[in-house]
């Protein structure tokens, strides 16, 4: 079985299923929210009693995570197989955030919306079509 797989992690002629593209869009929304939170932290750093460097450090972390998620979202939308695993890991890492919003923080509406986003994206990423696409099993054999 010979597939023409380049360094980009995609196979020539392999179009990602709609589930992967939808998941990419949802990861893109998460990335934009992370970058928006970064901006909010930077703005708030100037009016906070907290040490300025601590707030900038936290903002830098969210900026880095947001930029990485933009790359993952773009990878999913353009059909790069490598992007599925980091997207799944991100959804799993966001589950405690959902729990925190629903439980200790008592931010019920925000927790439900965040949970719906995270669970929807996760389910799209682990669907049967996404799984077979990620392993290259959707590419016709070119023997």
Structure tokens given for 100: 């925190």
Question: What does each C-alpha distance from 89 to 7, 41, 51, 93, 121 come to in angstroms?
Answer: 22, 24, 31, 6, 11
List, for residues 8-51, the tens digit of each pLDDT value.
Answer: 555 544 688 999 999 999 999 999 999 999 999 888 877 777 77
Q: What is the average per-residue pLDDT within 116-138?
A: 92
With 60 as the cut, is the pLDDT of residue 133 above it?
yes
**What SS3 class is residue 2?**
coil
What's the pLDDT at 140?
65
Structure tokens given for 2: 């010979």
What's the pLDDT at 15?
83
Question: What does each C-alpha distance from 48 to 40, 44, 54, 58, 106 come to in angstroms?
Answer: 12, 6, 11, 13, 24
What's the pLDDT at 45?
78
Mean pLDDT computed over every residue of the chain: 86
């Amino acid at each position: 079985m010979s597939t023409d797989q380049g360094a980009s992690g995609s196979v020539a002629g392999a179009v990602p299923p709609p589930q992967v593209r939808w998941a990419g869009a949802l990861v893109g929304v998460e990335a934009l929210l992370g970058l928006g939170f970064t901006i909010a932290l930077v703005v708030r750093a100037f009016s906070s009693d907290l040490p300025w460097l601590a707030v900038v450090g936290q903002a830098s972390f969210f900026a880095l995570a947001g930029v990485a998620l933009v790359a993952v979202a773009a990878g999913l939308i353009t059909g790069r197989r490598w992007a599925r695993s980091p997207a799944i890991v991100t959804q799993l890492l966001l589950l405690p955030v959902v729990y925190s919003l629903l439980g200790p923080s008592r931010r019920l509406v925000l927790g439900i919306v965040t949970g719906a986003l995270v669970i929807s994206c996760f389910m799209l990423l682990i669907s049967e079509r996404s799984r077979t696409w990620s392993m290259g099993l959707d590419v016709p054999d070119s023997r």
